[in-house]
Structure 1
Amino acid sequence: MIRTVIALLALVSPLAAEAAAPRHLPTHNVQHPSAADWTKVVSLTPDGGIRMGNPNAKVKVVEYFSYTCPHCAAFATEGAGPLAQKYVRGGQVSYEIRVALRDAIDLTMALSARCVAPPRYFDTVGAIMGSQQDWFPKAIDYINANRDKLNSVDDTAAIHAMLANVGVEAMLAKQGVTPAALNACLASKPAEDILQKTTNDAWNVKHISGTPGFFINDAAQPDIHGWAQLEPAIQTAIKG
């Protein structure tokens, strides 16, 4: 992880101004819920994302997001809940999230979140994104004060300390992630490779203009940046 973190550190400072304004998931078989609640079905997808809902849903929503993107945090707070409860639960819509990395903190949070059990993944993302304005400035301060430790050959301990310092480790602990498991996730090359793949797909293959970047049934939605715009597009797709 160290080489990737060091390469991305240069991106942290520009993103700080924006933010000041307003273990690899295991593959598992999809089980149909006993009741008609598809929000309980969460699975790893071949494209490196994590999907909630009916894999055969008529409407498939994909979001490319960044943990350090304030607009993504706004959608996680305002849109993810209504999307799940109004559209995913009944099976008409599936919701998949894929990471589009922008900086070193982003990578750390993404690796950490993938440490939780699949059914708890979306709740974990929601908790991290919901408190972004609190932990992100603290993480920047930690990096600025601990660059030597982060530049060391074994940076996992320093990164783990940052997660504890900003309160994210406590969030993960509530989801059943032990300190030892977190260390393993931070050092997971397979998980990092998946995140690099989704990032490359987002920026260099699909050419999203920014985060969050939405797709409905594989069609890019470049003019959609929030729930107020996304919901009507979902309703149109359901009727179509």
Structure 2
Amino acid sequence: MIRPVLALLALAAPLVAPAASAATTRHLPTHRVQHGPVDWSHTVTLTPDGGIRMGNPAAKVKVVEFSSFTCPHCAVLAGEAFTPLTDKYVRGGQVSFELRAALRDAIDLTVALAARCVAPPRYFPAVEQIMATQQEWFPKAADYVDAHRDELNGTGKTQAIHAMLTSIGIEATLAPQGVTPAALDACLISKPAEDALQKTTNDAWNVRKINGTPGIMINDVLKPDIHSWALLETAIQAGLKG
């Protein structure tokens, strides 16, 4: 499990404000199968809690993951869990899955803001791809920060942050999902998006006091030490039987 490190560099405002403001609640467009059973994996919504949820909002089992883009354990869980969770449980409406940020550092914040540029229903596959390449882009990001610290904290920091995302391959990852350079710039300075990320981060570390990422909740109950698909599926099945 990974504990937070919240002082890598000042890419933006403090990651956790003393009283993080609530993000404006809005519903992202949903896409559903028009004939036959509903495929709930295409229903993706920005939640009032600041996360992004895939699936039936009335599902019997509601899984919430507090996650970090710079957490290696989160990347492992994403690689193991995304496909079986979606195919076996979310599509049919039994389970919903919500991702909430538990930011650990400023690189995490930057990638999280960039990922929120992706429109549904491609958000979760985009996250999966970012996590799958984490071992490639994260060291590059750390090197970039060391070499460009002044620019990243200067008056032109948005351009410098965008350049970092380009150099480490995140921009190229998001481009096929419809994220243009102009959209990426807008996302990096989006106050509602940053507020949502701060809200979930504050909730994770200071309110619910998760002991590390990934932090899993099942039906609003924190389940410590779930860091593999086998453990997560066991918890889901217990919830479905209850």
What's the TM-score once normalised by structure 2's chain length? 0.88
Percent identical among aligned pairs is 65
Determine if the alignment matches structure 1 residue 214 to structure 2 residue 216.
yes
Alpha carbons of structure 1 residues 129 and 31: separation in structure 2 relative to 1, 3 Å: closer
* Amino acid of the structure 1 residue aligned with 2:220: D
User: Match of 2:46?
Assistant: 44
Q: Which of the residues 74, 87, 90 maps onto 2:89?
A: 87
Write the deviation string for residues 63-99 of structure 1: whole angstroms up to 9, x where unpaired. Answer: 0000000000001101111111100111000000001
Deviates more, 1:24-33 or 1:214-223: 24-33
Shift of 1:163: 0.5
2:8 is paired with a residue whose SS is helix
Shift of 1:118: 2.1
What's the TM-score once normalised by structure 1's chain length? 0.88
User: Match of 2:58?
Assistant: 56
Alpha carbons of structure 1 residues 172 and 32: separation in structure 2 relative to 1, 3 Å: closer
Determine if the alignment matches structure 1 residue 162 to structure 2 residue 164.
yes
Gaps of 5+ in 2: 1-5, 11-23
In 1, Cα distance between the equivalents of 2:179 and 2:122? Answer: 11
User: Match of 1:28?
Assistant: 28
In 1, Cα distance between the equivalents of 2:28 and 2:149? Answer: 38
In 1, Cα distance between the equivalents of 2:30 and 2:9? Answer: 40
Alpha carbons of structure 1 residues 168 and 26: separation in structure 2 relative to 1, 3 Å: farther
Gaps of 5+ in 1: 1-6, 12-23
Q: Which of the residues 73, 76, 86 maps onto 1:74?
A: 76
In 2, Cα distance between the equivalents of 1:46 and 1:10? Answer: 29
Count how many residue pairs are aligned between Structure 1 and Structure 2: 222
Determine if the alignment matches structure 1 residue 201 to structure 2 residue 203.
yes
In 1, Cα distance between the equivalents of 2:8 and 2:234? Answer: 38
Q: Is the 8 A contact 1:25 1:118 kept in 2?
A: no
In 2, Cα distance between the equivalents of 1:116 and 1:218? Answer: 26
- Give the helix-richer structure, 1 or 2: 1
User: Match of 1:104?
Assistant: 106
* Amino acid of the structure 1 residue aligned with 2:171: E
Q: Which of the residues 119, 139, 150 maps onto 1:137?
A: 139
Q: Which of the residues 185, 188, 203 maps onto 2:187?
A: 185
In 2, Cα distance between the equivalents of 1:128 and 1:25? Answer: 25
Q: Is the 8 A contact 2:31 2:121 kept in 1?
A: no
* Amino acid of the structure 2 residue aligned with 1:78: E
Shift of 1:113: 0.2
User: Match of 1:19?
Assistant: none
In 1, Cα distance between the equivalents of 2:143 and 2:149? Answer: 10
In 1, Cα distance between the equivalents of 2:58 and 2:32? Answer: 11
Shift of 1:28: 3.5
In 1, Cα distance between the equivalents of 2:26 and 2:115? Answer: 13
User: Match of 2:7?
Assistant: 8
2:50 is paired with a residue whose SS is coil
In 2, Cα distance between the equivalents of 1:161 and 1:223? Answer: 36
- RMSD in angstroms over aligned alpha carbons? 1.8
Q: Is the 8 A contact 1:39 1:84 kept in 2?
A: yes
Shift of 1:191: 0.9
Q: Is the 8 A contact 2:42 2:121 kept in 1?
A: yes
In 2, Cα distance between the equivalents of 1:124 and 1:31? Answer: 17
